[in-house]
Amino acid sequence: MPKLNQVNAIVSARKGEVEKTITELYKLIQKETLFAGRERTYRPTDEVGGQKLPAESQRVQQRADDLIRQAREKWTEVWNLVFTQDVGNQLAKADVVVDGKTILGNVPITFLLYLDKQVNDLETFIGKLPTPDPAEEWMHDPNTGLLRSRATESVKTSKEPTVIVKYEPTKEHPAQTELFTKDIPVGTWTQILYSGSLPADQKNAVLKRVRKLQDAIKVAKEQANLLDVERQKAADTVFAFVFGE
């Protein structure tokens, strides 16, 4: 009695082989000339002096019953394997266990296969979630439900023209001055940053649990696939009905 994982491995290989064979047989059955044959002999009216011609013949190159047999053999093998696989899939179940705790119990193998792909997508989704700028110090704001930084202050300045006297005036020369602008504090900005992203430690903790779940699902899949399955037969009954046997 084979294991379900052994049947799965065989099915994958056999499906391709059977598809290729059936495709080739299908091409043959569309060539009607291959199924036709003839024999032709010539007898002159004057059997003594008349011209004698050699017999002609064309051999039948393909037989419908032979092609049916070949196709039937291939289909029988793969249909029985897939039937065995599907019956096994109905019976194969396992628990998903993480750190000794059963997360899901008695899960069918078909759902484990689906869940495995979904949890991989979940990991990708969480991995792409943004995290706040690590240069800031963040805290939870209960009023908004967002992350909030500490308040920071910055001075607002205004440029004002200022004249300086470089040389005082004398009787001979006027005063020498220079005009320039000077930044004069006029106020203070107070800024608080908000973020709707996921804190890095929380994101890492979620990803860690997701990866543990991924491992547990893989173990459960292997466990379920170790089920002993009884070989099933469907093809003989189907073909017996089709061909009136």
- How confident is the model over 100-112, as pLDDT tens digits? 999 999 999 999 9
Task: Look at residues 144, 121, 125, 143 and name the one whose alpha carbon lies nearest to residue 195.
Answer: 144
Task: Look at residues 56, 60, 73, 52 and name the one whose alpha carbon lies nearest to residue 32.
Answer: 60
- Return the pLDDT at 144: 94
Residue 50 CA to residue 198 CA, distance in Å, equals 105
Under the banding of pLDDT at 50, 70 and 90, the label for residue 115 is very high
- Cβ neighbours of 108 (radius 10 Å): 15
Residue 168 has pLDDT above 90, yes or no: no
Q: How large a percentage of the chain has pLDDT more than 70?
A: 100
- Return the pLDDT at 171: 73
Give Cα 68 to chain centroid, integer Å: 38
Say if CB 91 and CB 224 are below 8 A apart.
no
Residue 120 has pLDDT above 90, yes or no: yes
Residue 149 has pLDDT above 80, yes or no: yes
- Return the pLDDT at 1: 83
Say if CB 148 and CB 141 are below 8 A apart.
yes
Higher-scoring residue by pLDDT: 37, 1? 37
- Return the pLDDT at 191: 95
> Would the pTM count as exceeding 0.85?
no
Q: Dihedral through CA 9, CA 11, CA 16, CA 19, nearest 10?
A: 180
- Give pLDDT tens digits for 198-212: 999 999 999 999 999
Say if CB 96 and CB 108 are below 8 A apart.
no
Task: Look at residues 74, 62, 76, 82 and name the one whose alpha carbon lies nearest to residue 19.
Answer: 74
DSSP state letters, 160-179: EEEEEEEE---SSSPPEEEE
Q: Mean of the per-residue pLDDT values for the chain?
A: 92
- Return the pLDDT at 178: 79
Strand partners, 182: 160
Per the structure block, which two tokens stand in for 242? 């089709």
- Give pLDDT tens digits for 20-50: 999 999 999 999 999 999 999 999 988 888 8
